[in-house]
Chain A
């Protein structure tokens, strides 16, 4: 009898991973506000194109191959392959008259990156190339 209890327990744990895979479509990893906070920084510049070029150079420094870039829309995507696949999209948009908001989101293999640390590392690398400080955004 006990054996079955354990087996049932194991099955429940297994099922705990995911119920319906279609749930992933609208799946979020945290609150919208929190996610944005982790992924976004403000920089004191208004030059969109130059910012995008610097983002591209930083991604290349970090070992990414660029997938696509759009100056008008202000987006850049890239993929890093190193025994894993790390996909990143970075977007740029003006904030007020003096600042630019940069937001990055990353996917590691098939999992969204929710840990704040990798984003912090990315912005640290970026601010070195930008010669500007990354400000946290509320």
Chain B
């Protein structure tokens, strides 16, 4: 016992020291094969030289989806938007009820989320412009702690966005 106590305290001290230093994951700023797959998923090319019109159509889709525009820089083809929404999921609620019923006390569940989107356009030729959109979200639980921080990589979400964008480009071209 006499011997273990100092070891315990020492390891506790080391642990608290380590807790102070956070290091960035090695792959955080590295291009991978996946980065290029994501680029394809998040980009579409349009047969237009009107970069600004395409950007406006993109902003329109964000508004259609309930986003508020946070930032924009037309000269660089940038629009940034976000929305705060409910993040409650039925499965988590059911799980929390089950744990409470078994006497496990209250378990925090996801409550709110902030979804962010950035739309970037760039001319790629004399008559073509590319548009890339990226989404991410932060989720907070019922205790106000961040429970998830993630990039959204679901192909269906991006397909849906570009369908809506095609529609918006059509509507705006026809001034509807």
List B contacts of A97 (CB < 8 A): none
List B contacts of A17 (CB < 8 A): 16-17, 20
Does B129 interact with chain A (Cβ within 8 Å)? no
Chain A, residues 1-31, CB within 8 Å of chain B (1/0): the string is 0110011011001101110000000000000
Chain A, interface size: which category? 35 or more
Chain B contact residues, majority secondary structure: mixed
Contact B28 A115 (CB under 8 A): no
Chain B, interface size: which category? 35 or more
- The residue from B30, B73, B135, B138 contacting A71, defined by CB atoms under 8 A apart: B73
6 further A-B contacts with Cβ under 8 Å, apart from A7-B9, A68-B73, A82-B151, are A9-B13, A16-B17, A62-B30, A65-B136, A85-B149, A86-B28
Residues on B facing A (Cβ under 8 Å):
5-6, 9-10, 12-14, 16-17, 20-26, 28-31, 35-36, 38-39, 42, 70-71, 73, 75-78, 80, 116-118, 120, 122, 132, 134-138, 149-151
Residues on A facing B (Cβ under 8 Å):
2-3, 6-7, 9-10, 13-14, 16-18, 49, 52-53, 56-57, 60-72, 76, 78-86, 106, 108-111, 113, 115, 117-119, 121-122, 125, 128
30 contacts between A and B (CB under 8 A): A6-B9, A10-B12, A13-B16, A14-B13, A18-B20, A52-B76, A61-B38, A63-B35, A63-B38, A63-B151, A65-B80, A67-B80, A67-B118, A68-B73, A69-B71, A69-B73, A69-B76, A69-B78, A78-B118, A79-B136, A80-B28, A81-B137, A82-B28, A82-B150, A83-B149, A106-B24, A108-B28, A113-B24, A117-B26, A125-B30
